[in-house]
Amino acid sequence: MAKVAEAEGLTPTMGQSPFAISRGQVFERELLKNDAERLIAALVEEGVLPKGAEGFRDLRTRINSGPLANMDVAHDETVNALRQLASAGQRGLEGSSPVVIASATLKISGQPVMLPEGILAIDALVARAEDATDRVELLVGEVKSYAYRAGYTDTTDLATSRAQAGLYRYALALTVHELGLGDHLSVAEHGLLVLTRHGSNRPQILSTEDLNYQAARAEAGFERLRAAAKDLEAFDVEDEEDAVERIESADVAYRPECVSFCDRAEYCREEAESKGDGNVLGADVGRFLAGVDLNRTIELMGGARPENEVERDLAERIREARGAATATAS
């Protein structure tokens, strides 16, 4: 979206800080050093893995300080690792199978038109014996370098991390299903967030993050994307200029929260305002106006005659809100 924003004369500001990227890389490297010694110890301490658990497989690419050449190789290795976990079963976790896989790489099939194949890498995939069955349970672990501050941890950071982990959980469940490994592998409903302890580089594990909602949301999001892609005229996604033009000419649905993550928010807000979309004053205003144009609403507030049932209802609600505060103040 940064490219589109630039084409529209805006300055992209949503990129990531280079310091934050390197901080994240350093933290991850420390966690995974010496066969993930620090991460596994923290998982044991938190009760996620049993005492004495060991076994690490590093599927990171070279660009991310790992041993593998590229994402395709990482994906093949991930499939092999999942098959190995399934065939070795719970007994394998006591010796031959890894309990932590770094950068387990998954693919979500795309759509020929707009949506290319999605490649996702799970920071830390944890394997353990599932209670009361003989399956191996897989847990999605998302590593973030921000500090855990108990109830004061930034809620937006947490929500973003959970959304990301939920997407991975959906992709993992899909992969296990597509590989036909469901009888031997289960994907846990809960996932892990690996954060830093304040003032140190040591990990703080949040082990009971319910990812059901976020996984369902990811699934619904992909469905919507695929449905949207089907209706599009075919074009070459590699042709950047063409792609930017197509995005520029597409309809937008501005929401106030766009400001916090999209470089194009300012443009979309202006578009929305020019169309009289109440969302420019907040989602609650958008709902309150029930589709009535902002400018028309201002006219109604000034005493214009409502022209239909929706306008009549809106005018009445505005009158009630104003009236309750002032008309009875006599």
Contacts with another protein by CB under 8 A lie at 11-24, 145-147, 149-150, 152, 154, 196, 198-199, 256-257, 259-260, 266, 279-285, 288, 294, 297-298, 301, 317-318, 320-322, 324-326, 328-330
In degrees, to the nearest 5, what angle opens at C-alpha 140 toward C-alphas 136 and 144?
Answer: 150
Q: 186 - beta bridge partners?
A: 137
Cβ distance to another protein smaller for residue 14 or 228: 14
Smallest distance, Å, CB 240 to another protein? 20
Smallest distance, Å, CB 157 to another protein? 11
Cβ distance to another protein smaller for residue 52 or 199: 199
Smallest distance, Å, CB 232 to another protein? 30
Q: 141 - beta bridge partners?
A: 124, 192
Cβ distance to another protein smaller for residue 12 or 89: 12
Cβ distance to another protein smaller for residue 35 or 46: 46
Cβ distance to another protein smaller for residue 7 or 285: 285
Smallest distance, Å, CB 138 to another protein? 25
Which of 189-223 are b and which e, b meaning 16 or more Cβ less than 10 Å from the residue's Cβ? Answer: ebbbbbbbeeeeeebbbbbebebeebbebbbeebe
Distance in angstroms (rounded) separating the CA atoms of residues 30 and 281: 45
* Residues composing the chain: 330
Smallest distance, Å, CB 245 to another protein? 25
Q: What is the DSSP letter of 120?
A: E
Smallest distance, Å, CB 233 to another protein? 34
Nearest to 80 by CA among 95, 66, 93, 97: 97
How far does CA 119 lie from the centroid of its chain?
Answer: 13
| Per-position DSSP letters for 172-196, written without gaps between them | HHHHHHHTT-TTTEEE-SEEEEEEE
Cβ distance to another protein smaller for residue 133 or 260: 260
Contact 26, 70 (CB under 8 A): no
